[in-house]
Amino acid sequence: MRFEDQRKLLVQELRQQGIRDEAVLAAFSKVPRELYVPPQYKDYAYRNRPLPIGLEQTISQPLMVAIMLEHLELKPEDLVLEIGTGSGYECALLAEIAGEVCSVERLEELSLTAQGVLKEAGYKNIFFRIGDGAQGWLKAYPPHKEFDKIIVSAGARQIPPRLQEQLKPGGILVVPVGAGDYQILTKVIRTENGYSVSEHGACAFVPLISK
């Protein structure tokens, strides 16, 4: 079956699993996941499962990515901070929906590979930083201080305080939180008086490593 047909089936599956955000579904229908997995896994690109991408990292399960993007409540004008560039797949999905994406990756090899794929795909609204994701967008270009939305693609022991500080008022942070192999998907909204926190089910991510 052609990758295009497999992609349509994946979008149908996401709908059946409860994803309702049409912008998120449109992004999944457009971005070719096979470009963001190692060659030996291309035949598995559209299975609803995580896949290894090297260096003990994974490309997340499409359904989990879709759930996180839906919780972000993305808008076309949003400035988004992504923690964990990984293969670049989630970054591409974000770039299809939001105005600008700033993506941080700790592992230089992964970041450079993802940058090559994303630039080849023609994205001009993505900026990259190699460094400690828990610190957010520091000493990087463009020199943004706050973001409308922040998404973390790794499990944090607690809600990273530096990321909370980089949320604009009314902004949303989505992050897996937990100390073990499994975490709780957590949504943080910056309010006038602080932060509103809600939990949205179990998930499993590689750990967020920070100094």
Catalytically annotated residue among 60, 103, 111, 153: 60
60 noted as active-site residue: yes
Q: Can you tell me the distance from the alpha carbon of 98 to that of 93, in angstroms, rounded to the nearest whole number?
A: 9
Q: Are 133 and 159 in contact (CB under 8 A)?
A: no
Q: Can you tell me the distance from the alpha carbon of 28 to that of 34, in angstroms, rounded to the nearest whole number?
A: 12
Q: Can you tell me the distance from the alpha carbon of 82 to that of 37, in angstroms, rounded to the nearest whole number?
A: 19
Q: Are 58 and 41 in contact (CB under 8 A)?
A: no
Write the burial class of residue 117 (CB in 10 Å: 0-12 exposed, 13-18 middle, 19+ buried): middle
Q: Which residues are catalytic?
A: 60
